[in-house]
Amino acid sequence: MFDKLIGVEERFIDIEKHLADPEVVQDRDAYQKFVREHAELNKIVTVYRKYKQTLNDLEESQELLKDADPDIKGLARDEITTLSLEKEKIEGELKALLLPKDPNDEKNVIVEIRAGTGGEEAALFAGDLFKMYSRYAEKRNWKVEIITHHPTGVGGLKEIIAMIQGQGAYSVFKYESGIHRVQRVPATETQGRIHTSAVTVAVLAEAEEVDIEIDPSELKVDVYRATGPGGQSVNTTDSAVRITHLPTGLVVTCQDEKSQLKNKVKAMKVLRSRLLDQMIFEQNEKRSEERRSQVGTGDRSGRIRTYNFPQSRVTDHRINLTLYKLDSILQGNIDELIENLLTYYQTEALQKAESTP
């Protein structure tokens, strides 16, 4: 670990020299590349330098144990105890920082929310989830762009696909993939019975053209007239787009824009991201169970969370965490959930790394 840290610090110093070079400053692409790498390494180097200072302080305190003055020896013992605990804490931070990073963590995300079992109640909760994610993104000054959505007649959503643009968006949202269950009394329920409905969420890292190369000859593009709830036409031109990727059978539709070209661009973004997600999933399936657990983001298809309205309770089943603050969470205050998930999966990855020879 320490050999790696020395190399990281050397690279960090080298990058600082590049950033001070006028020629690099004038090359926008090169400069931005170095800025991003500098920001990433800065987290590790800051903790590493703190660690080196702690080791130095610990060595000085151990030297003081040789002093003839018993008071100084006592102070040195207390200092050694404090510094030893600090050293152990920083070592844990460094191990976590050196874990292999998901290459998609810094990317934008495409979030797909679909109503599952529960009919109109599920569609209404799909709308609630989208509002929750949108409010969270807004708090972080991230941009939310709707790619396509299919509303129901009473304000719910059969499906909505949106792009969330912000540095590190995927690292946060990737743990939201799975089935979200809601327990509440629907507005249409006359006898006050609690119904259980489900909504599925899929989170995809935005794929760039360099990530996935798509052969245009493998695409079937259909255009048609956009429709709204109930099937009525909402446009007078064939602006809606349906793209079928023939080798995989993946189908993407987009009709939110009045421009056929804009709908096609948005649909291609979704298609590219779904193909990247499929490719990553297939790669992970080929790896050993041990390796998959290190890079895993939880069960992508199982029930991950329950939102119980009568008890104002939210339970994340993956980490056995229950919070009695449903209203606040639906307002986009999901930091506590996200932080606990990040800690859980990071701890799991550390344990796997330490147990691997």
**pLDDT tens digits, one per residue of 261-292:** 888 888 888 888 888 888 777 766 654 443 33
What pTM was estimated for this model as a whole?
0.66
CB contact set of 62 (below 8 Å; sequence gap of 6+): 76, 80
Half-sphere exposure of 175 (CA within 13 A, CB side): 20
Burial 216-227 (b: 16+ CB within 10 A, else e): eeeeeeeeeebe
CB contact set of 264 (below 8 Å; sequence gap of 6+): 221, 241, 243, 254
Residue 355: per-residue pLDDT: 63
Beta-strand relationship, 157-165 and 195-205: unpaired
| CATH class of the domain defined by 2-97 | mainly alpha
Residue 357: per-residue pLDDT: 53
Dump pLDDT digits (tens) for 127-182: 999 999 999 999 999 999 898 888 887 778 999 999 999 988 998 999 999 999 99
Which residues of the chain register pLDDT less than 50?
Answer: 231-236, 287-301
Residue 295: per-residue pLDDT: 33
User: What is the DSSP annotation of 68-82?
Assistant: S-HHHHHHHHHHHHH
Determine the topology of domain 109-348 in CATH: Alpha-Beta Plaits (3.30.70)
For residue 268, give the amino acid letter. Answer: M
The tokens describing 21, both together, are 């070079």
In angstroms, the Cα distances linking 37 to 32, 60, 65, 262 are: 9, 34, 43, 33
Give residue limits of the domains in the chain: 2-97, 109-348
Q: At 112, is the secondary structure helix, strand, or coil? A: strand
For residue 139, give the amino acid letter. Answer: K
Return phi, psi of residue 56, to 5°: -65, -45
The CA distance from 102 to 170, in Å, is 10
Q: 215 - beta bridge partners? A: none
